[in-house]
């Protein structure tokens, strides 16, 4: 009606928009600069004036990691040595001893030596406690002692270790170690191939493709893909693995962020290996991240039947940013969404309770989505399998036994009492299980349940308030009742615990390969996956084919 008025008011509106954006950016920049200046002056003042000598590098490392810890557990800072370790995890290649180790107090514990690698060749066994590397006592070395076991190829390292209370020495010769993303594949029966995918390193898709093609050439007409315990890894590897089973140009995952450049859609880019071969995927509560992209995407596309228990629920994407002096930041940049549009993130790190703990999304708040064929799936808490299997869920008492090394330590004792089993499968009798319970009691292995921790805290508080003698009788009664309860739980979950002890023992005698050979003949979850694949009517009904 009045065109000149439209022009008159449009221009200031646009200008105001630019002014708002510019001001907002300026304010953000000023606030960041202000806080950096405050921190810089504080850091300098502390290091200049503190009563004792300080370590600026150590203080800064702790400050940065503490700051990032308030965000989410995946946004992390890597110092120079951390960067080396991070690259190892993502390439699968490094020079070292070829063993899984962990620190426990003043010792390094050999958790699992890998067959034919330096630790194995030097005679080290699971349960050995390394107390000295070269001239360095582990008790005196407070940094990451595993770094003392790294170096150039053919480097010789003298170590001292304890085995069943006896001190021994050996020489390690460092060599290249190639950690396989696919540690095992084989045939379960004449027509069923089995592929274990342990993590998503840079060679994951190549290794899965190689296994798939070899199994097909060997007559496999259906596949079980095992993602149980797989913590994830590289996003592009997850997409390429999906691409083995679905056509080119299929959307596998989208990422969404408040920052536009991090909003992306990822599609398959190659010709597939086989879009028709029946596929069953196993997951559990420790299958996370890239594992959930593969299982979630292939579920949404009605390409695979998922079995097991609800996966971990990590729907966040990280990106590595190079910083100065060889350091690095791994920062959460976006959330990812499966083809149906669901985000399977379980914890909301933007909303934490009074103790700073992120809250899980309640099941009543899950949103429903549809797969390509119209099946209902949900967001908010990991990938829920098409077929839930109780055996993939772990009881709290069993979780405690794994955490406190009750099973691991007993397996070490059992191994040295029974050194000549060789290729025989160790079978735990009722007498063995009774021995296991006696071992836990004799070694005072704590289960650290919430009740047990609360009871110990109560006694500590009572001692502080000097009323512990007054409540001592009641405390002892509660403690005895708790021990009876734990004994009852040990008996109730005997089958589950026996199974885990047996698996730990098989690795002692026959390495990881022996465990997978045992799995394809005896594991109940694998058997159920095969049953679904063999029953094509059930398989097609689930997927609405």
How high is the mean pLDDT of the chain? 88
Mean pLDDT for 255-279 is: 95
- Quick one: tokens of 266? 């990822």
pLDDT on residue 394: 87
Nearest partner of 68 among 249, 391, 331, 455, judged by Cα: 331
The tens digit of pLDDT for each residue in 105-134 reads 889 999 999 999 999 999 999 999 999 999
pLDDT on residue 327: 86
Higher pLDDT: 114 or 479? It is 114
pLDDT on residue 418: 92
CATH 2.30.42.10 boundaries in the chain: 96-178
How many Cα atoms are found within 13 Å in the side-chain-facing hemisphere of 535? 11
Q: Is 368 in contact with 333 (CB distance < 8 Å)?
A: no
pLDDT on residue 87: 58
- CA geometry: angle at 157 spanning 420 and 125, to 5°? 20
Buried b (16+ CB within 10 A) or exposed e, 337-372: bbbbebbbbbbebeeeeeeeeeeebeeeeeeebebe
pLDDT on residue 31: 85
Mean pLDDT for 311-332 is: 89
The DSSP code for 380 is S
pLDDT band at 509 (very low <50, low <70, confident <90, very high): very high
Between β-strands 251-256 and 328-337, what pairing exists: parallel, antiparallel or unpaired?
Answer: antiparallel
The tens digit of pLDDT for each residue in 200-214 reads 999 999 999 999 999
Asked if 314 is an active-site residue, the reply is: yes
What distance in Å separates the CA atoms of residue 436 and residue 446, rounded to the nearest whole number? 14
**Is domain 184-393 annotated with CATH 3.90.226.10?**
yes
Mean pLDDT for 386-412 is: 92
Classify 334 as helix, strand or coil.
Answer: strand
Tell whether the model's pLDDT for residue 244 goes beyond 90: yes
pLDDT band at 27 (very low <50, low <70, confident <90, very high): low
> Which long-range contacts (C-beta less than 8 Å, at least 24 apart) are formed by 163-168?
163/125, 163/127, 163/128, 163/129, 163/416, 164/412, 164/413, 164/416, 167/131
Nearest partner of 444 among 481, 415, 404, 412, judged by Cα: 404
Tell whether the model's pLDDT for residue 22 goes beyond 60: no
pTM of this prediction? Answer: 0.84
pLDDT on residue 280: 98
| Residue tagged active-site, from 201, 289, 309, 334 | 289
Higher pLDDT: 468 or 496? It is 496
Torsion, Cα 145 150 155 157, to 10 degrees, reads 20
- Quick one: tokens of 58? 């150590």
Mean pLDDT for 487-492 is: 92
In the block, residue with structure tokens 């094509």 = 536
Tell whether the model's pLDDT for residue 414 goes beyond 90: yes
| Residue tagged active-site, from 300, 379, 386, 409 | 300
pLDDT band at 95 (very low <50, low <70, confident <90, very high): low
Higher pLDDT: 222 or 450? It is 222
In the block, residue with structure tokens 């000023």 = 30
pLDDT band at 24 (very low <50, low <70, confident <90, very high): very low
Mean pLDDT for 213-237 is: 96
Say if residue 92 is exposed, middle or buried (CB neighbours under 10 Å; 0-12, 13-18, 19+): buried
The tens digit of pLDDT for each residue in 330-384 reads 899 999 999 999 998 998 888 888 777 888 888 888 999 999 999 999 998 899 9
Which H or E element spans position 500? helix 494-522
Mean pLDDT for 158-179 is: 93
pLDDT on residue 90: 53
Mean pLDDT for 267-272 is: 97
Classify 329 as helix, strand or coil.
Answer: strand
Mean pLDDT for 384-391 is: 94
The tens digit of pLDDT for each residue in 425-446 reads 999 999 999 999 999 999 988 8
Q: At what angle do helices 494-522 and 406-417 cross, to 10 degrees?
A: 70
Tell whether the model's pLDDT for residue 102 goes beyond 60: yes
Asked if 289 is an active-site residue, the reply is: yes
Mean pLDDT for 26-52 is: 87
CATH 3.90.226.10 boundaries in the chain: 184-393
Q: At what angle do helices 430-442 and 494-522 cross, to 10 degrees?
A: 130
The DSSP code for 149 is G
Mean pLDDT for 448-453 is: 74
pLDDT on residue 17: 40
Classify 173 as helix, strand or coil.
Answer: strand
- For the chain, the 3-state helix, strand and coil shares in percent, each to the nearest 5, are 45, 20, 30
For 404, phi then psi, to 5°, come to: -95, 10
In the block, residue with structure tokens 């063995």 = 432
| Residue tagged active-site, from 209, 314, 330, 507 | 314
Query: According to the per-residue pLDDT averaged within each range, which of 119-133, 145-159, 389-403 is highest?
Result: 119-133
pLDDT band at 7 (very low <50, low <70, confident <90, very high): very low
What distance in Å separates the CA atoms of residue 476 and residue 305, rounded to the nearest whole number? 51
pLDDT band at 86 (very low <50, low <70, confident <90, very high): low
Mean pLDDT for 12-35 is: 57
Tell whether the model's pLDDT for residue 236 goes beyond 70: yes
pLDDT band at 165 (very low <50, low <70, confident <90, very high): very high
CA distances from 274 to 187, 213, 303 (A): 18, 9, 11
pLDDT on residue 4: 38
Tell whether the model's pLDDT for residue 84 goes beyond 70: no
Q: Is 98 in contact with 113 (CB distance < 8 Å)?
A: yes
- Quick one: tokens of 55? 């370590």
For the domain made up of 96-178, give the CATH fold.
Pdz3 Domain (2.30.42)
């Amino acid at each position: 009606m009045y065109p000149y008025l439209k022009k008159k008011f449009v221009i200031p509106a646009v200008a105001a928009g630019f002014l708002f954006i510019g001001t907002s950016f300026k304010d953000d920049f000023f606030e960041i600069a202000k806080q950096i200046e405050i921190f810089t002056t504080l850091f300098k003042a502390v290091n200049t004036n503190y009563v004792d000598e300080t370590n600026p590098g150590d203080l800064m490392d702790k400050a940065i990691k503490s700051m990032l810890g308030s965000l989410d557990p995946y946004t992390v800072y890597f110092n120079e040595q951390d960067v080396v370790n991070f690259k190892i995890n993502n390439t699968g290649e490094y020079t070292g001893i070829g063993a899984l180790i962990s620190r426990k107090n003043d010792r390094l514990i050999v958790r699992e030596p890998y067959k034919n690698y330096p630790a194995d060749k030097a005679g080290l066994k699971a349960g050995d406690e390394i107390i000295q590397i070269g001239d360095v006592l582990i008790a005196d070395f407070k940094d990451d002692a595993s770094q003392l076991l790294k170096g150039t190829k053919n480097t010789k390292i003298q170590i001292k270790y304890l085995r069943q209370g006896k001190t021994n020495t050996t020489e390690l010769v460092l060599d290249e170690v190639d950690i396989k993303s696919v540690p095992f594949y084989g045939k379960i029966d004449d027509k069923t191939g089995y592929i274990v995918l342990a993590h998503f390193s840079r060679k994951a898709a190549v290794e899965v493709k190689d296994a798939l093609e070899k199994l097909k050439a060997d007559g496999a007409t259906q596949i079980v893909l095992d993602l149980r315990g797989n913590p994830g890894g590289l996003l592009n590897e997850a997409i390429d693995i999906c691409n083995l089973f679905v056509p080119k140009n299929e959307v596998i995952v989208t990422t969404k962020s408040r920052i536009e450049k991090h909003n992306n859609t990822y599609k398959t880019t190659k010709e597939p290996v086989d879009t028709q071969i029946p596929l069953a995927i196993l997951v559990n509560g420790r299958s996370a991240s890239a594992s959930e992209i593969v299982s979630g995407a292939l579920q949404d596309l009605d390409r695979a039947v998922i079995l097991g228990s609800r996966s971990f629920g990590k729907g966040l994407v990280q990106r590595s940013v190079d910083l100065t002096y060889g350091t690095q930041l791994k920062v959460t940049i976006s959330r990812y969404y499966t083809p149906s549009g669901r985000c399977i993130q379980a914890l909301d790190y933007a909303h934490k309770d009074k103790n700073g703990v992120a809250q899980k999304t309640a099941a009543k708040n899950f949103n429903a989505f549809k797969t390509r064929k119209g099946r209902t799936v949900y967001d908010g808490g990991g990938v829920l399998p098409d077929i839930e299997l109780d055996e993939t869920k772990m009881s709290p008492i069993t979780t405690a036994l794994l955490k406190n090394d009750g099973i691991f330590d007993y397996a070490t004792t059992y191994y040295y009492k029974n050194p000549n089993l060789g290729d025989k499968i160790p079978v735990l009798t009722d007498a063995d299980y009774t021995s296991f319970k006696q071992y836990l009691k004799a070694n005072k292995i704590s289960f650290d349940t919430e009740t047990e921790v609360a009871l110990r805290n109560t006694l500590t508080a009572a001692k502080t308030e000097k009323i512990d003698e007054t409540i001592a009788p009641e405390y002892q009664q509660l403690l005895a009742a708790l021990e009876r309860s734990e004994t009852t739980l040990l008996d109730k979950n005997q089958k589950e615990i026996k199974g885990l002890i047996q698996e730990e023992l098989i690795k002692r005698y026959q390495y990881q390969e022996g465990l997978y050979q045992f799995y394809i003949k005896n594991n109940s979850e694998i058997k159920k996956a095969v049953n679904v694949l063999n029953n094509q009517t059930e398989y097609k009904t689930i997927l609405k084919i």
